Amino acid sequence: MEYQAQEYEVAVIGAGHAGIEAALACARLGVKTAIFTMSLDAIGNMPCNPSIGGTAKGHLVREIDALGGEMGRAADATTLQSRMLNRGKGPAVHSLRVQADRQKYHIYMKKALENQENLDVKQAEIVDIRLDESGVKAVVTHLGAVHPVKAVIICSGTFLRGKIFVGDISYSSGPDGMHAAQSLSEKLAQRGVALRRFKTGTPARVQRRSIDFSVLEEQPGDEPTEPFSFETKERPTNKISCYIAYTNEKTHALIRENMHRSAMYSGEIEGVGPRYCPSIEDKIRRFADKPRHQIFVEPMGEDTQEIYLQGASTSLPEDVQIQMYRTIQGLEQVQMMRNAYAIEYDCCDPLDLTAALEFKNIPGLFGAGQFNGTSGYEEAAAQGLYAGINAARLVRGEPPFLLDRASSYLGTLVDDLVTKGCSDPYRMMTSRSEYRLLLRQDNADERLTPLGYELGLISQERYEQFLEKQRLKEQELKRVAALTVSPSQELNALLVSRGTAPIATGVKLADLIRRPQIGYGELAPFDKERPRLPDSVAQQVEITLKYEGYIKKQMAQVAQMRRMEKRELPADLDYTKIRGLRLEAQEKLSRVQPRSVGQASRISGVSPADISVLLIYLQAQGRPQAPGHEGDGNA
């Protein structure tokens, strides 16, 4: 029996990484919000790997933080080990990754939700989303509670018709043995949401005491550590080491012998799996020439004996899993605590979403996270924040907040999804951004904190601290550009030792810093006027000077891209009536409904010749250039 329950402005379905950021953003923007979860014990759960960040993903976490999101602070508060990846490469691809305490992360996020004003946290399954002629009207729980709402954000993760596969055994389930959400998919289909099946997997959790760490390769954390959040004052502490094990030919032979028993290859799984995070079966088949594969042995927390075997996800039967793990040196006596599994679930086609992550045909309905076809906690949290901001702005009658590709990895992520779509679970990588030298993790605050402040997600105090950091940076850049350093025996000895030419006359300090062989910090003994600066400011000064020429080139590319973005396309444009457009271009343009010529140019199957035809058509129609979108951001 249904009953009329409390009214909200926004309902968030799911309390994983996307749902948390969506709900917090809405509530912090003054919108009365409810977040619904299948279990309060699963808030902020890490059903896959117990870590935050990584290549490109670390950039997203910094951007979430710069806009006022929560993930960075939570990761800093629950860090077990911190490492900066890709230090041997340029700063564009430096990416922070932390091993987090899984249970403490859950506790942190649950507390953040419970203590947030304007937000109610509810354990309930949403079984229906009611619509009227204007769009979203209400959500309905499994117990018959009807909550009137103005907007809904679906952050369902892998719960929608979730199905677990272990060998030839399959059953309905969400991750970690939780109930699947069985009813909402059918209602969404009835409401006009096209769904498809994706799949992901996770490796076993094993007993720490059953591992021989003495034969494994230790992987300590970095010292000193760097925090994710620009607000974190104390550096996180490394509390544990991680380790690396390796598969061998015995492992590979066992997998090949049992490949037919894997749900991946038996035909049981219909969903499409992630391309860039393959199962161990996939690795053996796709990289048959490799004699071994790395297995990262990572703790789940300080207060548990559970160890996660990253890189060894599988849907092989349980008996084969045990044999397989025991072929690995150091794991010969390993005891499984939780078996590995594959999980299949429903998700939408992101081509059905606008650039605000709102469904084109259902006003007020938003999607975020794995529901939009992505993989990864960081991608989910970033979308959740973005969808939450836009849902709040919708109910307040404000225009959407949009980020372009040159502003952020978040803008790139959203643009890729709604413009190009995805045929398998999307994962963010630095190679996906053509402006990655501008979109470094170290300058995320410079790019996005002013926007977060304008939105109302960054406090006055934090914004003033940001402005002071920028003042120090600009002041130091001016100082080193004006300061002349005289030649000396000690300075020339340093320069020669670093493989760069000595100086015979005075040179500007900025020019010495620009040399790739020498660092800003190494020149401190020859800079008597150098002020004491925070490490983050010194880092910004050095990167700005060393990459000045490349940054200017990318800025020119950004300016050209943004000119194309300002050429807006009408929403009712009939592409089938434009003479000269190829049939494929007509179909793709009609499907995506791009908002600008720039977006149209990024659609797969639309050629430069098609764009030329489109520009000629717009000129013939006499359509003026429109102003740029709000939130394009600072490169």
Quote the pLDDT of residue 620.
87
Domain boundaries, the chain: 3-199+345-455, 205-342, 471-551, 566-621
Evaluate the CA torsion angle 619, 623, 627, 633 in order and state its sign.
Answer: negative
| CATH fourth-level superfamily of 566-621 | GidA associated domain, C-terminal subdomain (1.10.150.570)
Helix (H) or strand (E) holding 73: helix 71-77
Chain centroid to CA 433: how far?
Answer: 13
Instruction: Report whether 351 contacts 366 (CB < 8 A).
Output: no
- Assess whether the previous peptide bond of 299 is cis (omega < 30° from 0): no
d(CA 372, CA 215): 42
Quote the pLDDT of residue 635.
36
Please give the backbone phi and psi of residue 310, each rounded to the nearest 5 degrees, phi first: -65, 135
Quote the pLDDT of residue 623.
59
Q: Which CATH class is domain 471-551?
A: mainly alpha
Count CA atoms within 13 Å of residue 360 on its CB side. Answer: 18
Quote the pLDDT of residue 178.
93
Q: Which DSSP letter does residue 213 get?
A: G
What fold characterizes domain 205-342? Elongation Factor Tu (Ef-tu); domain 3 (2.40.30)
pLDDT tens-digit series, residues 76-117: 999 999 999 998 899 999 999 999 999 999 999 999 999 999
Quote the pLDDT of residue 631.
52
Nearest to 30 by CA among 96, 145, 128, 117: 117
d(CA 295, CA 242): 11
pLDDT tens-digit series, residues 243-297: 999 999 999 999 999 999 998 777 777 778 777 678 899 899 989 899 999 999 9
Quote the pLDDT of residue 269.
79
How, if at all, do strands 119-123 and 33-37 pair? parallel
Nearest to 364 by CA among 183, 116, 594, 191: 191
d(CA 287, CA 281): 10
d(CA 510, CA 404): 32
Nearest to 516 by CA among 95, 222, 83, 91: 91
d(CA 102, CA 124): 23
Quote the pLDDT of residue 592.
94
Where are any strands of DSSP class E within 350-499? 365-367, 484-485
d(CA 601, CA 344): 33
What fold characterizes domain 3-199+345-455? FAD/NAD(P)-binding domain (3.50.50)
Please give the backbone phi and psi of residue 345, each rounded to the nearest 5 degrees, phi first: -155, 165
pLDDT along the chain (635 residues), means of 10: 96 98 98 98 93 96 98 98 93 95 98 98 98 96 98 97 94 93 96 95 96 97 96 95 97 95 79 78 90 96 96 94 98 97 96 97 97 96 98 98 97 97 94 95 97 98 97 97 94 95 95 94 92 94 95 94 91 91 94 94 93 90 52 46
Determine what percent of the chain falls in helix, strand and coil, rounding each to the nearest 5.
40, 20, 40
Quote the pLDDT of residue 624.
52
Instruction: Report whether 103 contacts 78 (CB < 8 A).
Output: no
Helix (H) or strand (E) holding 345: strand 341-348
Q: pTM of the prediction? A: 0.94
How far is the first Cα of the chain from the last one, in angstroms, to the nearest whole number? 54
